[in-house]
Chains A and B, each alone.
Chain A
Amino acid sequence: EAGVTQSPTHLIKTRGQQATLRCSPISGHTSVYWYQQALGLGLQFLLWYDEGEERNRGNFPPRFSGRQFPNYSSELNVNALELEDSALYLCASTGNLYLTRTEAFFGQGTRLTVV
């Protein structure tokens, strides 16, 4: 079974540009979570999508946004990039059965570097 896949693996952008990160969940999973893993700050919750809707949002500015497509894949967009946006962005998916609902399966991440 294919795991959560993220693309690209690495992304280098200039300050002020926009970045788009993509995530494909495990087949059958409907929920997608995005986390930012900045150096020394652990995993910070960004966004949660389920069934195409944004369900929850972390304490990040509006220039962090995203969407979920009908096939449950997701996109994270970061506008007006700032140097401190440099981090590893992780995507996770969860299933829709109660027993597996809260077990999150993570992708390898996209390393975003803003220069």
Chain B
Amino acid sequence: AQRVTQPEKLLSVFKGAPVELKCNYSYSGSPELFWYVQYSRQRLQLLLRHISRESIKGFTADLNKGETSFHLKKPFAQEEDSAMYYCALFPPGAQKLVFGQGTRLTINP
């Protein structure tokens, strides 16, 4: 079964500190993986996807097939990064996005 696990429901770091949101997935093939973000009072939106290999708002995520992980990282957290973050898996053929439980990130001043 396809599954996404985000082990931390809550994560709190200080402004300027590095941040890492963990994501592990369960899928035997080659999935597409995404990070979605939901800022306060805004709709859920795509942050980045692994196939793009891009950095968005200073965030990067590397797909590690050996560890089946897709952790989201940022070297220096900003207060505006406070939000709910969801890791999502799109298994080709399943035609649905499978989301993790989400991690609420709080950046303290």
Contacts and interface: CB of A to CB of B under 8 A. Distances in A.
B100 A42 contact: yes
B96 interface: yes
A43 B90 contact: no
Contacts of B90: 102
Nearest to B9: A40
B54 interface: no
Interface in B60-109: 86, 90, 94-102
A104 B17 CA distance: 31
Given A102-B32, A103-B49, A43 B43 contact: no
Interface of B: 32, 34, 43-46, 49, 86, 90, 94-102
Interface in A37-60: 41-43, 45, 48, 50, 55-56, 58
Interface residues of A, number: 23
Contacts of A58: 96
Nearest to B90: A102
21 contacts: A4-B43, A33-B96, A33-B97, A42-B86, A42-B102, A45-B96, A45-B97, A45-B99, A55-B95, A56-B94, A56-B96, A58-B96, A92-B97, A102-B32, A102-B97, A103-B34, A103-B49, A104-B97, A106-B43, A106-B44, A106-B45
